[in-house]
Amino acid sequence: MRTSSGGLPHRRSVRLTPSSYRDATVFITICSDEKRCTFGRVENDHVLLSPLGEIVNREWLRSKTVRPDVLFDEYTIMPNHMHALVCVPTADGSRSSLASLVRGFKGAVTRAAGREVWQRGYHEHIVRDERELEIVRTYIQENPIRWTVDRYHMGE
């Protein structure tokens, strides 16, 4: 096993090559630290955001102004995770990347909250076609309705 300069194990990236993301819409999931329900709660199939959830929402919306080249689509903030669809251009000379978008967003939320907010990393899935895009959009929109059977539901 390779180690970092600090002696810790070096984790190999599971990310695809940058060309795999070129003009692709990506479905991302970002989880709260230890999947704690700190972003809010679900009542009557709607998410009621906590003050921390409001920070998450504000910083996600602010990401649109910070990165005007990124196409933001559907998103939802759940009690312990969030889902979003984004398209980050990867043309030559572009400073944007999916990883830098997520890193910047997570960092902004953490700074605003003044404490650790996120679990390490994030999950991504490249959306392959229009049919899949509609399926993912519906999944994101209906996520609060399915909260009690959601794989991230840890109890509130």
Pairing of strands 25-31, 123-127: antiparallel
- Write down the pLDDT at residue 13: 45
Q: Which amino acid makes up residue 26?
A: V
pLDDT at 21: 53
Asked whether the predicted pLDDT for residue 15 surpasses 50, the reply is: no
Q: What is the rounded average pLDDT of the residues 127-133?
A: 95
Here the tokens at position 87 are 């398209």
pTM of the model: 0.82
What ranges in 25-125 are assigned the alpha helix state H?
Answer: 51-66, 98-113
Phi, psi angle pair for 35, to nearest 5°? 55, 30
**CA contacts within 13 A on the Cβ side of 80:** 15
Q: How confident is the model at residue 147, as a pLDDT? A: 85
pLDDT at position 125 is 95
Specify the higher pLDDT residue, 136 or 11. Answer: 136
